[in-house]
């Protein structure tokens, strides 16, 4: 699908979604983003776009000497990780409830955390150096060090998930979606609040789009905390992936694992686009440089895609982060029942109770349509279908 160009205020809005199918509030947010005086070239809008705080989920924004923390999102560094195994569907037990239980036993979900720290040198290097940097974070989170350590290697709730999937060759994959947990959220909320107080943001159409400017102490403090939280999120996924792979090793001693794939989809990167050095925020979008592998999940029960980026310059070398919600959590709870959830997740070993009805596939956009709309951004490497799905 070729992008549709919608006239914006300071820059245009280039959309890989059909404008008439995007909710009114989200279109209003995109216009607000286009009014930012620091925006470069255009705003890139992914096919899974939907309303978010300040900036839409599914937006890629390149700013000159500025960054908006709300255009990153409150779950800094949220993203995906996956690994392909040597197992095939025939290796799995007839019932998967026991495997799901053993995975849930090693990866805390929801508000739960590890009783003892779970990270090891098998997951990432220089843990001592990483935790020393905690002392340099904003004083607002100083009391959260112990919590951050014990949440390292935990899933969280909402749309975060841990899955066992099969590809079309019946090979088994492990996939997970999570971010920087409570510490990332607190850092994001703190800096969004600081940005709203700065004088240069007084005339913005939406106070939640407040930015930090290059060369200021506020920008330096935010970027320091931001990059630490992005590293936390990456390490968090690595720890969980290792914990689940250890469960599979115990179950299948001869199992082998390929090189994992990992990608952020709520983050900031320093990049060069259209000949200019810019700060790119991807909120609900992955980097899709030419040849780069990425992960685009659907909803529980519908499947996911492993993709290879095509490096499209007009999208700032980006692609969608998933299917994207088509209705709010509250509307989903009012629209669907536990019976609907059971029907839409038939064949998947997962929770089917009222606590996760808001994550029902029907609350999300159709992942195959989303993929078709970004055929000039990525090419499909593999399509996966979950057989186990764990949610908080």
Which positions ≥6 away from 146 have C-beta within 8 Å? none
321 catalytic? Reply is yes
Residue 3 DSSP label: P
With contact defined as beta carbons under 8 Å apart, do 168 and 383 qualify? yes
**Exposure string for 173-210, b = 16+ CB within 10 A, e = fewer:** bbbbbbbbbbbbbbbbebbbebbbeeeebeebebebbb
Residue 90, Cβ density class (10 Å: 0-12 exposed, 13-18 middle, ≥19 buried)? exposed
Per DSSP, the residues of 226-292 read HHHHHHHHHHHHHHHHHHHHHHHHHH-TT--B---EEEESEEEEEEEETTEEEEEEEESEEE--TT-
| Residue tagged active-site, from 114, 150, 265, 321 | 321
Q: Which residues are catalytic?
A: 321
């Amino acid at each position: 699908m070729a992008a549709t160009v919608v006239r914006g205020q300071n820059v245009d809005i280039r959309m890989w979604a059909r404008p008439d199918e995007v909710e009114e509030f989200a279109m209003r947010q995109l216009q607000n983003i286009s009014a930012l005086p620091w925006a470069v070239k255009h705003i890139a809008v992914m096919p899974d776009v939907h309303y978010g705080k300040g900036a839409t989920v599914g937006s890629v924004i390149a700013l000159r000497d500025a960054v908006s923390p709300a255009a990153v999102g409150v779950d800094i560094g949220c993203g995906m990780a996956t690994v392909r195994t040597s197992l095939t569907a025939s290796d799995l037990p007839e019932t998967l409830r026991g495997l799901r239980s053993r995975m849930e036993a090693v990866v805390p979900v929801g508000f739960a955390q590890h009783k003892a720290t779970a990270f090891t040198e098998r997951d990432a290097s220089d843990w001592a150096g990483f935790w020393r940097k905690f002392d340099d974070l904003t004083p607002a989170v100083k009391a959260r060090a112990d919590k951050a350590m014990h949440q390292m290697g935990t899933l969280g709730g909402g749309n975060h998930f841990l899955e066992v999937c099969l590809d079309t060759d019946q090979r088994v994959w492990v996939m997970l979606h999570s971010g920087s947990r409570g510490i990332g959220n607190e850092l994001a909320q703190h800096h969004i609040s600081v940005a709203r107080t700065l004088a240069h943001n007084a005339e913005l159409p939406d106070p939640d789009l407040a930015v930090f400017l290059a060369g200021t102490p506020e920008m330096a403090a935010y970027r320091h905390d931001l990059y630490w939280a992005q590293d936390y999120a990456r390490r968090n996924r690595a720890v969980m992936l290792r914990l689940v792979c250890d469960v599979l090793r115990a179950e299948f001693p001869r199992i082998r694992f390929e090189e994992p794939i990992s990608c952020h989809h709520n983050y900031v990167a320093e990049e060069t686009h259209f000949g200019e050095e810019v700060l790119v925020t991807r909120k609900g979008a992955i980097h899709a440089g030419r040849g780069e592998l990425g992960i685009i999940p659907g909803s529980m029960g519908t499947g996911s895609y492993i993709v290879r980026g095509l490096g499209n310059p007009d999208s700032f070398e980006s692609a969608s982060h998933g299917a994207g919600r088509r209705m709010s959590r509250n509307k989903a709870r009012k629209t669907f029942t536990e019976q609907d959830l059971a029907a839409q997740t038939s064949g998947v070993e997962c929770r089917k109770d009222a606590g996760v009805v808001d994550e029902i596939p029907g609350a999300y956009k159709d992942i195959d349509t989303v993929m078709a709309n970004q055929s000039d951004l990525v090419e499909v490497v593999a399509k996966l279908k979950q057989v186990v799905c764990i949610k908080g």
